[in-house]
Amino acid sequence: MKLYIKYMVSTRCKMMVKEVLKKLKLHFIVVDLGVVEIMEDISDIQRERLKKELLAAGLELMDDKKAMLIEKVKKVIIEMVHYADELPKTNFSDFISTKLDHDYTYLANLFSEVQGMTIEQFIISHKTERIKELIIYGEMNITEIANKMNYSSVAHLSSQFKKVTGLSPSHFKQLKEKRRIPIENIGDFNESN
Protein backbone atom coordinates (compact mmCIF):
# COMPACT_ATOMS: atom_id res chain seq x y z
CA MET A 1 0.00 0.00 0.00
CA LYS A 2 1.33 3.44 -0.93
CA LEU A 3 0.99 6.39 1.40
CA TYR A 4 1.80 9.99 0.57
CA ILE A 5 3.36 12.27 3.16
CA LYS A 6 3.49 16.04 2.95
CA TYR A 7 6.63 18.02 3.98
CA MET A 8 8.85 14.94 3.61
CA VAL A 9 11.75 16.56 1.78
CA SER A 10 14.99 15.35 3.37
CA THR A 11 16.89 12.29 4.52
CA ARG A 12 16.12 13.29 8.11
CA CYS A 13 12.39 13.23 7.30
CA LYS A 14 12.78 9.74 5.84
CA MET A 15 14.47 8.57 9.06
CA MET A 16 11.65 10.06 11.17
CA VAL A 17 9.03 8.31 9.04
CA LYS A 18 10.85 4.98 9.38
CA GLU A 19 10.87 5.41 13.17
CA VAL A 20 7.13 6.20 13.20
CA LEU A 21 6.37 3.15 11.04
CA LYS A 22 8.47 0.90 13.31
CA LYS A 23 6.73 2.33 16.38
CA LEU A 24 3.35 1.47 14.85
CA LYS A 25 4.63 -1.96 13.77
CA LEU A 26 4.07 -1.21 10.08
CA HIS A 27 6.51 -2.86 7.70
CA PHE A 28 7.83 -0.63 4.95
CA ILE A 29 9.13 -1.68 1.57
CA VAL A 30 10.18 1.78 0.43
CA VAL A 31 10.48 5.10 2.24
CA ASP A 32 11.21 7.84 -0.27
CA LEU A 33 10.67 11.60 -0.40
CA GLY A 34 6.92 12.14 -0.10
CA VAL A 35 5.93 8.50 -0.53
CA VAL A 36 6.01 5.36 1.57
CA GLU A 37 5.13 1.85 0.52
CA ILE A 38 4.14 -0.51 3.30
CA MET A 39 3.48 -4.25 3.15
CA GLU A 40 0.10 -4.26 4.83
CA ASP A 41 -3.18 -2.47 4.24
CA ILE A 42 -3.94 -0.26 7.20
CA SER A 43 -7.19 0.10 9.06
CA ASP A 44 -8.87 3.45 9.72
CA ILE A 45 -7.62 3.29 13.32
CA GLN A 46 -4.02 2.64 12.17
CA ARG A 47 -4.33 5.46 9.62
CA GLU A 48 -5.44 7.89 12.36
CA ARG A 49 -2.58 6.83 14.64
CA LEU A 50 -0.11 7.22 11.77
CA LYS A 51 -1.58 10.62 10.93
CA LYS A 52 -1.21 11.73 14.58
CA GLU A 53 2.39 10.46 14.88
CA LEU A 54 3.43 12.11 11.62
CA LEU A 55 1.84 15.42 12.65
CA ALA A 56 3.85 15.31 15.87
CA ALA A 57 6.97 15.00 13.69
CA GLY A 58 5.92 17.96 11.53
CA LEU A 59 4.73 15.78 8.65
CA GLU A 60 1.27 15.19 7.25
CA LEU A 61 -0.36 12.04 5.89
CA MET A 62 -2.30 13.05 2.81
CA ASP A 63 -5.71 11.80 1.75
CA ASP A 64 -6.71 14.18 -1.01
CA LYS A 65 -5.70 13.00 -4.52
CA LYS A 66 -5.01 16.56 -5.73
CA ALA A 67 -2.82 17.29 -2.70
CA MET A 68 -0.95 14.05 -3.38
CA LEU A 69 -0.35 15.12 -6.98
CA ILE A 70 0.96 18.52 -5.80
CA GLU A 71 3.38 16.75 -3.44
CA LYS A 72 4.55 14.56 -6.31
CA VAL A 73 5.26 17.70 -8.38
CA LYS A 74 7.22 19.17 -5.46
CA LYS A 75 9.13 15.92 -4.98
CA VAL A 76 10.14 15.78 -8.65
CA ILE A 77 11.34 19.40 -8.51
CA ILE A 78 13.24 18.95 -5.23
CA GLU A 79 14.94 15.78 -6.48
CA MET A 80 15.71 17.44 -9.81
CA VAL A 81 17.19 20.63 -8.31
CA HIS A 82 18.84 19.40 -5.10
CA TYR A 83 19.74 15.76 -5.64
CA ALA A 84 20.38 15.24 -9.37
CA ASP A 85 23.98 15.48 -10.54
CA GLU A 86 22.82 17.69 -13.36
CA LEU A 87 19.52 19.28 -14.30
CA PRO A 88 17.65 17.86 -17.30
CA LYS A 89 18.42 19.50 -20.64
CA THR A 90 14.71 19.43 -21.62
CA ASN A 91 12.12 21.99 -20.56
CA PHE A 92 11.09 21.58 -16.95
CA SER A 93 7.46 21.39 -18.10
CA ASP A 94 8.22 18.41 -20.38
CA PHE A 95 10.34 16.74 -17.69
CA ILE A 96 7.67 17.08 -14.98
CA SER A 97 4.84 16.09 -17.33
CA THR A 98 6.71 12.97 -18.49
CA LYS A 99 7.87 12.04 -15.00
CA LEU A 100 4.33 12.24 -13.55
CA ASP A 101 2.47 11.13 -16.67
CA HIS A 102 0.08 14.11 -16.51
CA ASP A 103 -0.65 17.02 -18.81
CA TYR A 104 1.55 19.94 -17.75
CA THR A 105 -1.21 22.55 -18.11
CA TYR A 106 -3.37 20.57 -15.68
CA LEU A 107 -0.45 20.22 -13.23
CA ALA A 108 0.45 23.92 -13.54
CA ASN A 109 -3.13 25.10 -12.96
CA LEU A 110 -3.63 22.74 -10.01
CA PHE A 111 -0.28 23.72 -8.49
CA SER A 112 -1.03 27.45 -8.76
CA GLU A 113 -4.50 27.00 -7.32
CA VAL A 114 -3.30 25.02 -4.30
CA GLN A 115 0.13 26.61 -3.67
CA GLY A 116 -0.57 30.22 -4.61
CA MET A 117 2.57 30.26 -6.78
CA THR A 118 3.44 28.84 -10.18
CA ILE A 119 5.56 25.75 -10.73
CA GLU A 120 8.12 28.03 -12.37
CA GLN A 121 8.30 30.23 -9.25
CA PHE A 122 8.70 27.10 -7.10
CA ILE A 123 11.54 25.86 -9.35
CA ILE A 124 13.26 29.25 -9.32
CA SER A 125 13.14 29.47 -5.52
CA HIS A 126 14.65 25.99 -5.23
CA LYS A 127 17.30 26.73 -7.85
CA THR A 128 18.19 29.92 -5.97
CA GLU A 129 18.63 28.02 -2.70
CA ARG A 130 20.73 25.40 -4.48
CA ILE A 131 22.88 28.15 -6.04
CA LYS A 132 23.38 29.69 -2.56
CA GLU A 133 24.47 26.29 -1.30
CA LEU A 134 26.93 25.82 -4.17
CA ILE A 135 28.34 29.34 -3.63
CA ILE A 136 28.81 28.66 0.08
CA TYR A 137 30.58 25.34 -0.65
CA GLY A 138 33.03 27.33 -2.76
CA GLU A 139 33.98 24.34 -4.91
CA MET A 140 32.67 25.85 -8.16
CA ASN A 141 32.87 29.26 -9.76
CA ILE A 142 29.74 31.05 -11.02
CA THR A 143 30.28 29.82 -14.61
CA GLU A 144 30.45 26.21 -13.41
CA ILE A 145 27.37 26.72 -11.24
CA ALA A 146 25.48 28.25 -14.21
CA ASN A 147 26.38 25.19 -16.31
CA LYS A 148 25.44 22.74 -13.55
CA MET A 149 22.11 24.49 -12.97
CA ASN A 150 21.42 24.56 -16.73
CA TYR A 151 21.34 28.34 -17.20
CA SER A 152 21.91 29.68 -20.70
CA SER A 153 24.53 32.10 -19.34
CA VAL A 154 26.07 33.51 -16.19
CA ALA A 155 24.13 36.71 -16.85
CA HIS A 156 20.84 34.78 -16.81
CA LEU A 157 21.76 33.09 -13.52
CA SER A 158 22.87 36.42 -12.01
CA SER A 159 19.72 38.21 -13.14
CA GLN A 160 17.41 35.54 -11.72
CA PHE A 161 19.44 35.25 -8.50
CA LYS A 162 19.32 39.02 -7.97
CA LYS A 163 15.58 39.14 -8.69
CA VAL A 164 14.95 36.57 -5.93
CA THR A 165 17.56 37.58 -3.32
CA GLY A 166 18.20 41.24 -4.09
CA LEU A 167 21.92 40.41 -4.35
CA SER A 168 24.24 39.43 -7.15
CA PRO A 169 25.92 36.01 -6.69
CA SER A 170 29.30 37.73 -6.15
CA HIS A 171 27.80 40.04 -3.51
CA PHE A 172 26.19 37.01 -1.82
CA LYS A 173 29.58 35.28 -1.80
CA GLN A 174 31.20 38.33 -0.17
CA LEU A 175 28.44 38.43 2.46
CA LYS A 176 29.01 34.77 3.22
CA GLU A 177 32.70 35.40 3.82
CA LYS A 178 32.01 38.42 6.04
CA ARG A 179 29.28 36.61 7.94
CA ARG A 180 31.69 34.03 9.33
CA ILE A 181 34.40 34.93 11.80
CA PRO A 182 37.47 32.70 12.08
CA ILE A 183 37.55 30.88 15.41
CA GLU A 184 40.80 32.51 16.40
CA ASN A 185 39.26 36.00 15.96
CA ILE A 186 36.06 35.47 17.92
CA GLY A 187 35.93 38.03 20.71
CA ASP A 188 38.51 40.40 19.14
CA PHE A 189 37.53 44.06 18.87
CA ASN A 190 38.41 44.13 15.15
CA GLU A 191 36.59 40.94 14.21
CA SER A 192 34.62 42.71 11.48
CA ASN A 193 37.82 43.12 9.38
Q: Does residue 192 lie in a domain region? A: no
Residue 177 has what pLDDT?
A: 57
Q: Are residues 71 and 161 in the same domain?
A: yes
CATH classification at residue 33: 3.30.70
Number of structural domains (the chain) is 2
63: which residues sit within 8 A by CB, 6+ positions away?
A: none
Q: Are residues 58 and 85 in the same domain?
A: no
CATH classification at residue 91: 1.10.10.60
Structural domain of residue 115, as residue ranges? 67-178
CA 43 to chain centre: 31
Residue 5 pairs with which residues in a beta bridge? 61
Q: What are the tens digits of pLDDT across the range 56-114?
A: 998 888 877 787 898 899 989 988 888 877 777 778 899 999 999 999 999 999 888 77
Q: What are the tens digits of pLDDT across the range 105-120?
A: 999 998 887 777 899 9
Residue 182 has what pLDDT?
A: 57
Q: Are residues 83 and 171 in the same domain?
A: yes
The amino acid at 59: L
State yes or no: pLDDT of 47 exceeds 60.
yes
pTM over 0.85: no
Q: Are residues 27 and 6 in the same domain?
A: yes
Domain end (from 37, 63, 89)? 63
User: Do 181 and 119 touch, CB atoms closer than 8 A?
Assistant: no
Q: Are residues 18 and 37 in the same domain?
A: yes
